[in-house]
Chains A and B, each alone.
Chain A
Amino acid sequence: MLNTHVAQEHASTQSRALPKHLHHAAALAGAITLIGFVALFMHGCAAAPPRAHLDDYREAFNAARDVAEQVLIETEIIWQEAEHIPLHDVAGDQADDWLAFDASPDRAGDSTREHIDLRLQFWRIAARYNEALLALAEGRSPDDASRSASCFADALRDLPIRQLTTIAGHFGALHGVLGESLAAIENHHARQRIEQAVLAGAPLVDQMFELMREDVTDLYDVHLVRYHQQRRAIDESLQLELLPSFQLLYESTGPREDKAALFNAVRGVLAGDLRYRDADLPAFGDSHTDDAPYSAQDHAQLLLLRDSIQQVGRQRRAIDANMQQTKQLLESYHTLLTIAQHQLHALQQAVEVGEPAPAEAVLHTSLAVFRELVNYRQGATP
């Protein structure tokens, strides 16, 4: 609409006979027409993403990245510590794994470290992508703007600038609006480049976020297995060594009254820290306990076994707490990935749907320049 108005106004002005001494203004009009073309061109372009969406996305990304690095490093340690993990032959015969020999090149060097490193690499390269987007948003770029501005600059270079001093009063106003136009052009082209960069890169980063989110389940499973391996080690020690030894000593020696405190301490650990069901709690000494005094050595041994069982209880509490923290960490990580992904979608949507185009600013500026010229001509005409 505005473009049409400018064109009509321009055409009606051109149809009038110009005084000869105003030929400089005609050259000026050429430049202004060029601005108009730039404005028309820009008006048809897609709208640009708001900077706020980019900032929101980068903020969410950085938060997810911080947690990701922590999660990946933690997982790497556990993964590497796990013994005999058959990475390639999932369905193979586990019993004969150690006999397998595979010297194929693709297997050589294929380690946990490489899998983790690749994930860390994503966060680094995606951060560089974000910085490139930021650079574009700040107008520190691009070649498209350079090409378009080049034509504009060439046109302006042909203007008889020294002669324009004869219309100094009017040039002052023109200078101002030219500056505004230039800023609008820069801004517009930078935003166009962001659009292209977002449309090209965001779907890939989005897919990576999706894979990272799926990764969380497997990372959790690695921690879950580790947790059960730790529990298993505790149970093995408790069930095959500590409790049988304690029961043997307890039932073979010592006065019943003295041993009551030891008995309660052990049952407390089993029922409390290890969460044994009542039916599973050991019933020591129902038929074998005698009241004969035990030797100092037996007493010391019983105390030592009690302490060891209590230590097992503390270990179990510690690994439970650690697993709970790991679970919370991974849940937070998953949430952060989801937020970052949503912010990326918002950025993409802003590119596709858009907001008021900067081309409008160029158009208004061009119109202001044109009106300035019309006013000048009207004032200069005898």
Chain B
Amino acid sequence: MNHTQQTDRALYLNAHAQFESILRSRKSTTQQKRAALDAMDDLDRDYLSQAAHNLQQSTAQMQQFITLIEDIVAALEAQQQPLDAIDRLREIIEQANHVLRE
């Protein structure tokens, strides 16, 4: 979490606390309470919009990395084939072993 995000969240929570205080106060009129609720709504929409925007930006970066990782995985999986030469070596040793037993 970077400094800007910390600051934004602190401001968001502080603003919510202030609007909630207006909403709960015995001194607040109904009109003031409605205004506080509307302000809360706007505040939530803005903050959610920012969070969604951040996630969207991360998605774009992730897409690039995932494509590269997929390429590597495809290359690795393509290599997982029978080892012909190693198998031939084993055959030779087995052949020698067989001859030895004869």
Task: Give the complex CA separation of A90 and B56 in angstroms.
Answer: 12
Task: Give the complex CA separation of A114 and B59 in angstroms.
Answer: 9
**Stretch in contact with the other chain, from A167-175, A357-365, A367-375:** A167-175
Verify B58–A84 contact, CB threshold 8 A. no
In the complex, A191 has a CB within 8 A of chain B? no
Which B residues between 7 and 40 are near A, CB-CB below 8 angstroms? 9, 12, 16, 20-21, 23-26, 30, 33-34, 37, 40
CB distance from A167 to the nearest CB of B (A): 10
Verify A87–B84 contact, CB threshold 8 A. no
Verify A211–B65 contact, CB threshold 8 A. yes
Verify B65–A283 contact, CB threshold 8 A. no
Verify B93–A179 contact, CB threshold 8 A. yes
Task: Give the complex CA separation of A179 and B86 in angstroms.
Answer: 11
In the complex, A208 has a CB within 8 A of chain B? yes
Q: Inside 8 A of B61's CB, which chain A residues have their CB?
A: 211
Task: Give the complex CA separation of A141 and B56 in angstroms.
Answer: 38
Q: Which of A147, A222, A282 contacts B48 (CB 8 A)?
A: A222
Q: Which of B21, B53, B65, B92 contacts A87 (CB 8 A)?
A: B53
Q: Which of B1, B12, B69, B97 contacts A217 (CB 8 A)?
A: B1
One digit per residue, 1 when the CB lies within 8 angstroms of any chain B CB and 0 when it does not, for chain A 85-129 equals 111101000100000000000000000001100110110011011
Task: Give the complex CA separation of A150 and B42 in angstroms.
Answer: 70
Task: Give the complex CA separation of A85 and B53 in angstroms.
Answer: 10
* Contact size range, A: 35 or more
Verify A228–B24 contact, CB threshold 8 A. no
Verify A222–B51 contact, CB threshold 8 A. yes
Verify A132–B77 contact, CB threshold 8 A. yes
Chain B interface helix/strand/loop/mixed: helix
Verify A165–B23 contact, CB threshold 8 A. no
Verify B52–A145 contact, CB threshold 8 A. no
Residue of A nearest to B37 (CB): A236
One digit per residue, 1 when the CB lies within 8 angstroms of any chain B CB and 0 when it does not, for chain A 213-226 equals 01101110110110
CB distance from B91 to the nearest CB of A (A): 9
Verify A175–B59 contact, CB threshold 8 A. no
Task: Give the complex CA separation of A179 and B30 in angstroms.
Answer: 89
CB distance from B68 to the nearest CB of A (A): 5
Task: Give the complex CA separation of A222 and B72 in angstroms.
Answer: 33
Q: Inside 8 A of A283's CB, which chain B residues have their CB?
A: 26
Verify A122–B62 contact, CB threshold 8 A. yes
One digit per residue, 1 when the CB lies within 8 angstroms of any chain B CB and 0 when it does not, for chain A 14-35 equals 0000000000000000000000
Q: Inside 8 A of B51's CB, which chain A residues have their CB?
A: 218-219, 221-222, 225
Which A residues between 124 and 164 are near B, CB-CB below 8 angstroms? 125-126, 128-129, 132-133, 135-136, 140-143, 145-150, 152-153, 156-157, 161-162, 164
Residue of A nearest to B20 (CB): A235
Q: Which of B20, B73, B80 contacts A125 (CB 8 A)?
A: B73
Verify A282–B49 contact, CB threshold 8 A. no
Contacts A87-B53, A94-B46, A182-B93 known; list 15 others, CB within 8 Å. Answer: A88-B53, A90-B50, A94-B42, A115-B55, A141-B79, A145-B86, A161-B92, A161-B95, A175-B96, A179-B93, A201-B73, A217-B1, A232-B40, A235-B20, A236-B37
Report B's interface with A, CB cutoff 8 A: 1, 5, 9, 12, 16, 20-21, 23-26, 30, 33-34, 37, 40-42, 44-56, 58-59, 61-63, 65-66, 68-70, 72-73, 76-77, 79-81, 83-86, 88-90, 92-93, 95-97, 99-100, 102
Complex A-B: 23 CB contacts under 8 Å: A84-B45, A85-B48, A88-B53, A90-B50, A115-B55, A121-B66, A126-B69, A133-B76, A136-B76, A145-B83, A156-B92, A171-B96, A175-B96, A193-B79, A214-B58, A215-B55, A215-B58, A221-B9, A221-B47, A222-B51, A222-B52, A228-B44, A239-B33
Counting from the closest, the 3 A-B pairs by CB-CB distance are A132-B76, A150-B85, A221-B51
